[in-house]
Structure 1
Amino acid sequence: MRCLRQFYRILCFAVISCTANAEQLQLKSISYSSQEPTHLAFDLSAPCRHRYFSLSNPHRLVIDLENTRLNQVLNQPNDHPLFANLRTGIRNGQDLRIVIELKGSAQGKSLLVEKNNGAELQFDLQLKAALPQKVDRHADLVATSSVKAVETPVTPVRPVALKAPKTKGRDIIVAIDAGHGGKDIGAQGGNGTQEKDVVFAIAKRLEAIINNQSGMKAAMIRNGDYFVPLNQRVRLAHEAKADLFVSIHADAFNDASARGASVYTLASKGASSAGARWLADTENAADAVGGNGNDAGNDTLVSILHDLSNKAAKEASQNVGNKVLKSVRSLGELHRSAVQKAGFVVLKSPDIPSILVETAFISNPEEENRLNSRAYQDRMAAAMFGGIMAHFRQYAPANTLLAQQSRAARVVRAQVENNSLPASDKPMLLAAVQDEVVDSLAQHTINRGETLSGIAQQYRVSMRALRLANKMNDGNVKIGQVLVIPPAT
């Protein structure tokens, strides 16, 4: 739901009569024609069921191919008079979605042509703006070919004008601080693993996830293996105008049996435990290791440390800390079951909510191996993002795109419910509205032990909304399944 001044919806469901193979189908290629600019064709391994609909602002044709995967990367429509670009994605774990951005307003009509070695799904677009005339390709096919052409039955839904709020808000900025770096290696595991390396790997994975989320942007505090003084990390977050500061570390202790992840926020009075105080003292000594010395006299740092009474930032830090801890719990044992408090220098920003995540104990041989695992790094980054996203779904700043998208989605749903359409048409239109906002919604990858009810509670949405957003018939989920998270209501 990007930058919509007026939300027009024309939804077409195309159900193709076919003897669909139970095996997964393959989309081999797509072909465009500059001589016939309103025509495009998909080469399939077999006939398939599909549906399509058109969107506006910007103009797009959206095609869903049931139980289909890409055989190879599809060609982009370079310098085409009608098609601007193309992107693909997987829906419901099995269907292939193709989104083609158009250079003008158009409605589509499909034709399935069955072949001996597969099928061709063809689209002809009806344009509001005039484009070069094209020949009747379908007539030529019927006249000169022995293949069978099947006209697609289309059930149109009458156009409905939905006035959606403008969604031109700014991105939410998340400052990602990979601990240590350069001469400061941080803690070291028994097999030689250095903290600075594994936390940087997790930070880069979190950066990729955030930058892939519409309405969010990551700002890396360090983008390589070099040392950044602690006070400068805070300053860089301010320069990036961050809405959240996340510092990523790996814990260590002289007892190799210590294990589990922890989340910390700033303690304004005193550490929540002796262990938390020891850890903060250890991390705060990084400047001395990095050769920066004690910079407590620096004017910028003094001004930052001067006022730690910003109640809103403290409450937000606690809230996001709770949600990240809850999300990280899905990966296994926690070292502390509640958010801890300690005097970390990098958390001492009076106006930026800040948390520090200890991802695991690098001093524990088993957890050292996990920290070196790309799969664990991916899962930890995804878990942190899940908590961050859950926080901003509840408390997104009002001038951000995410806050406005959530509000717009609620407004549009209300308009659909109050529209004069027949009751039988409303579920189809609501489904179309949901399709429109999918691109801007968060996603959650199912980990071992997670349930749909638990995910609904984590993101503060109903199970019904989750099932509707993901077109699920029941509440069963599978490990690795990716769920779209609809806006909280």
Structure 2
Amino acid sequence: MFRSQIKIITLLLGLLTAPVFAKSTIDGVRVWPSPDYTRVVFDLSNTPDYSYFFLKNPERLVIDFKGTKNQVNLDNLAANDTRIKLIRTSSAKDKQSTRIVIELNGGFEDKIFPLKPAGPYGNRLVVDLFDDERKQVIVNKPKANNRDIIIGIDAGHGGEDPGSISKSGTYEKKITLQIANRLKKIIDKEPGMKAVMIRSGDYYIHVNRRTEIARQKEVDFLVSIHADAFHSSQPRGASVWIVNDRRADSELSRWLVNREKNSELLGGGGELIKKTNDENLAVFLADLTKDKSLEISDMMARNVISEMRKITRMHKTQPQNASLAVLRASDIPSMLVETGFISNPYDFKNLTSPTHQGKLASAIFTGMKRYFHQYPPEGSLLASMRPTKHKIRAGESLSVVAQRYKVSVSQLKVANNLKSDVVRIGQTLTIPRIN
């Protein structure tokens, strides 16, 4: 009895004097450089308990992870980044904590925030280091005559946000960038057209920032490339989406909207990141501009669908509507192309095929090219090359022809010596050039 009591007392004393182990571990550190900022992500086994401060001469960011042990080799993590010299550990306040020092190549504006588990990721602490000169003033300057039509190409997802993941582990973000690069090469070969990439590498850009970049690059049209996914493997085929702020009218559109929200949680912290300005609000135009933008988006989407259905199965044969943030800029006509279902084995095989990717890019380009040849923006090279004659076809009226060539009905009547608005099938009209 006495010996038993001694054993119990000894055990209790041992528990009281045993070292307190860290309650969390750093299991991974990832660095994502992008053109205007660098993201550092710390993967942790539990919700991060942290504090941080900056030091000068030299510039350093110091992060203390309380009750946390580092399990990661930090050597060469920032080898490909120009903003970070080195990531290393230093002496922490106590033995159960970890101090991480990020040595910087200058001063940066920072955003530091935790992210809860989402998708393939667990708890994370995110450090965003923004260039001080990243904010650009948007000036509405006149565009040059005979200019190129600029197409913004947005490769969906990227960096911290992988998008959909196939059964074999292939990320959607990789497929979308491959197709986007193929589309850019085709567009850049076309006289009078030029492509700009919204995302040119494997890094994350928040959906609102994507439209800001498109606006800064003065794009005439924005196309966002994605590969669809669903909770079952049955659905397959491509679809084209345009913005609609009304309630989602199908299960697939609700799925797509929810997936975009989940992507924000994966990569951007959603509302956890406090906005520092209202640049988007300042440039949103009147309802008339919005209506025109939607009209262009719808016509473009229909052209692209007619080309895509020649080379791939279409999940939907009409433009679909969804309230997607990447399409919401009212001054930028846009569409989102779902190139197929990564969750469907047949589509997945096609989407990872260079040959099929090339066909998809060609179809998207051909649809856009046809639209811009019919309705070239004023001042563009294609506008200066548009036809001067038009033969009336069934269903066409004088007002339809005027709208197509962006001239007034009265200008058409003067140029063709017409006394009324009546035209006949087969009649050839002279299209006046308007400077």
Which category describes the TM-score, using the shorter chain as reference length?
Answer: 0.5 to 0.7
Partner of residue 287, structure 1? 264
SS in 2 for 1:326: helix
Q: Distance in 1 between matches of 2:254 and 2:305?
A: 19
Partner of residue 254, structure 1? 231
Partner of residue 126, structure 2? none
Partner of residue 306, structure 2? 326
1:318-365 CA distance string (max 9 Å, x none): 000111111111112211111000011000111111100000000001
Determine whether 1:398 maps to 2:375.
Answer: no
Judged with a 3 Å threshold, the aligned counterparts in structure 2 of structure 1 residues 253 and 353 are, in CA distance, closer, same or farther, namely same
Structure label with greater radius of gyration:
2
Q: 2:172 aligns with which of 195, 216, 236?
A: 195
1:297-330 CA distance string (max 9 Å, x none): 5523444678666111010000001111111111
SS in 2 for 1:381: helix
Contact 2:284–2:331 (Cα < 8 Å) also in 1? no
Contact 1:186–1:194 (Cα < 8 Å) also in 2? yes
SS in 1 for 2:386: helix
**How many residues align structurally?**
245
Question: Post-superposition shift, 1:255?
Answer: 1.2
Instruction: Give percent identity, aligned residues only.
Output: 40
Contact 1:195–1:250 (Cα < 8 Å) also in 2? yes
Q: Distance in 2 between matches of 1:293 and 1:284?
A: 8
SS in 2 for 1:396: coil
Q: Distance in 2 between matches of 1:305 and 1:202?
A: 30
Determine whether 1:183 maps to 2:144.
Answer: no
Question: Post-superposition shift, 1:385?
Answer: 0.3
Determine whether 1:220 maps to 2:189.
Answer: no
Could you tell me which amino acid in structure 1 is paired with residue 349 of structure 2?
A: N
Question: Post-superposition shift, 1:207?
Answer: 0.3
Unaligned regions of 5+ residues in structure 1, if any?
Answer: 1-166, 414-489
Q: Distance in 2 between matches of 1:321 and 1:399?
A: 23
SS in 2 for 1:327: helix
Determine whether 1:336 maps to 2:324.
Answer: no
SS in 2 for 1:406: coil
Determine whether 1:317 maps to 2:297.
Answer: yes
Partner of residue 449, structure 1? none
1:7-64 CA distance string (max 9 Å, x none): xxxxxxxxxxxxxxxxxxxxxxxxxxxxxxxxxxxxxxxxxxxxxxxxxxxxxxxxxx
Alpha-carbon RMSD: 2.3
SS in 2 for 1:176: strand
**TM-score of the aligned structures, taking structure 1 as reference length:** 0.48
Question: Post-superposition shift, 1:369?
Answer: 1.1
Contact 1:229–1:292 (Cα < 8 Å) also in 2? no
Could you tell me which amino acid in structure 2 is paired with residue 329 of structure 1?
A: R
Partner of residue 251, structure 2? 274
Judged with a 3 Å threshold, the aligned counterparts in structure 2 of structure 1 residues 313 and 306 are, in CA distance, closer, same or farther, namely closer
Could you tell me which amino acid in structure 2 is paired with residue 222 of structure 1?
A: R
SS in 1 for 2:270: coil
Contact 1:211–1:218 (Cα < 8 Å) also in 2? yes
Could you tell me which amino acid in structure 1 is paired with residue 278 of structure 2?
A: D
Determine whether 1:241 maps to 2:218.
Answer: yes
Partner of residue 229, structure 1? 206
Q: 1:379 aligns with which of 353, 359, 381?
A: 359
- Within-5 A mapping of 1:444-483: none
Q: Distance in 1 between matches of 2:281 and 2:164?
A: 28
1:229-260 CA distance string (max 9 Å, x none): 11110000000100000000000001101100
Unaligned regions of 5+ residues in structure 2, if any?
Answer: 1-143, 391-435
